[in-house]
Amino acid sequence: MTTKPLPLYRILQAEGFGTRRYCGDLVAAGLVEVEGQPCDDADAPFDPEGLRITVDGEPWVCHVRAYLMLHKPAGYECSQRPLHHPSVYTLLPTPLRVRGVQAVGRLDQDTTGLLLLSDDGQFIHQQTSPKRKVPKVYEVTTAEPATEAQAQALRTGVQLDDEPAPIAAMGCDIVGERALRLTLSEGKYHQVKRMVAAAGNHVTALHRSRIGGLALDPALAPGEWRWLTTADLALLAQKE
């Protein structure tokens, strides 16, 4: 997309490289290249979206809004102030942390898989609003062999202790002796683990593989991230 040209120092500031003065000093010191060319004019205007820069030797592609996919590993908390484990935000480069990206919903510290992050408040609200019923697919490893009776109970609805009515999965399939593929449209506290327990089994490992029509990129190793593309964002809107 085409955006309004901005002075280079403002682009650097918006991308998370520091304060206005610090970004101006970076440019003045000859530490910034734009599209492969040195630039020592902090006021030089550029269209920020997709602009390729290098800051003190580090390449960077500018984005007006940050939309990210992270392959969350086990042992990380989706919190800026973690209590017992490292924060997922430590897996991101400093500019993204400085500009304030937030996890779109949370995964438990021992849950792996697809985690979205953004600095777009409207996007975060849309993705987490219960009214939108965004389907999320989980690969569940169970302690005991999964049975059709358990899968049927999860599809029909199981009663959780603090819920007034049974909670049903959008879909549940047995995909291995001790493996279920569970699709939910809600994000209640420990929901998958509690639902599987209510159905008579126990979760030993949990991995989120898909949100909407967007699957976790198989090229991402645990702990790795990438920018979402326009096509990725369109897939998120799909309900099937």
- Tell how strand 179-184 and strand 37-38 pair up: unpaired
Residue partners of 120: CB distance under 8 A and separation at least 6: 65, 66, 67
The token pair that represents 130 in the structure block: 């219960």
Residue partners of 73: CB distance under 8 A and separation at least 6: 112, 222, 223
The token pair that represents 223 in the structure block: 């702990």
CA distance to 88, 136, 208, per residue, from 167 (Å) = 29, 15, 19
Count CA within 13 A, CB hemisphere, residue 164: 0
CA dihedral 3→8→14→16, nearest 10 degrees, is 140
Task: Report phi then psi at 55, rounded to 5.
Answer: -120, 115
Nearest to 92 by CA among 109, 107, 70, 73: 70
Residues with catalytic roles: 108
Count CA within 13 A, CB hemisphere, residue 132: 17
Any idea which residue has 């993705």 for tokens? 127
What is the C-alpha separation between 2 and 25, in angstroms, rounded?
27
**Maximum separation of any 2 CA atoms in the chain, in Å:** 68
